[in-house]
Structure 1
Amino acid sequence: MNHCLLPDCLPGHEDCNTIEITYSIFPGVQTASHPCPGKPFIVRGFPKKCYLPNNQKGKKVLSLLYKAWSRGLIFTIGSTCTTGEKNVVVWNGIHHKTEKHGGPPAGYPDHFYLDNVIIELRAQSVE
């Protein structure tokens, strides 16, 4: 996981620029903490890019996402919702904005997103 700043603003957050998060995961072998230890896992669609407004609440969410990442909570290994493919790295219940525009569920504006993701993170003991 890493991040950078983009000069443009997100819809609904015209008062600040944008934080772009990049998640990179590479294929590997499942460990004891995964569903099928010893079996390979697949990655699809990585690196993944996500966006936050670069304001006080967006910076707080960024900090919490780094904590969640370090604890292995952002992704898990499972089956994809779209194809049913197994042993694939998938999102693990912490919603991210993967589009800058277009509104919910994947883009902005979404006036409730930052509060909602803080609640999701708190539910996983990330505070």
Structure 2
Amino acid sequence: MQYEIARVEFDAYRMDLENTKPELPQSPVTEEAQKNFSHHKELYEKLRADVAIKMQFLDENRIKVMHKQLVLLHNAIAAYFSGNAVALESTMKQFNIKLKAPNSATGSWLEQ
């Protein structure tokens, strides 16, 4: 939210600066517009860098979670096809999934 506000303010002050350029180059209005533009540009650049770092952290976290899930899936498949029920149940607990008995009759998900 702060990033979007900073971007809009930066664009507004950039447009103000562009609109004051045709006037006298050393006028107080131009200097004030330049000062406002510089301040908001620094704020915008700082927030943009913060967002880039947060996106990098999210991407790294996504990769770690995906890696963990793939390892769990591999272990579950290996345990299933090797017939190792104990290892399969252990892996399924890590997935937070409860195994159903082969002949158990449960109701529809609507009934639960």
Compare the two structures and name the one with the higher strand fraction: 1
TM-score by structure 1 length? 0.18
Instruction: Return the index of the structure with the highest Cα Rg.
Output: 2
TM-score by structure 2 length? 0.20
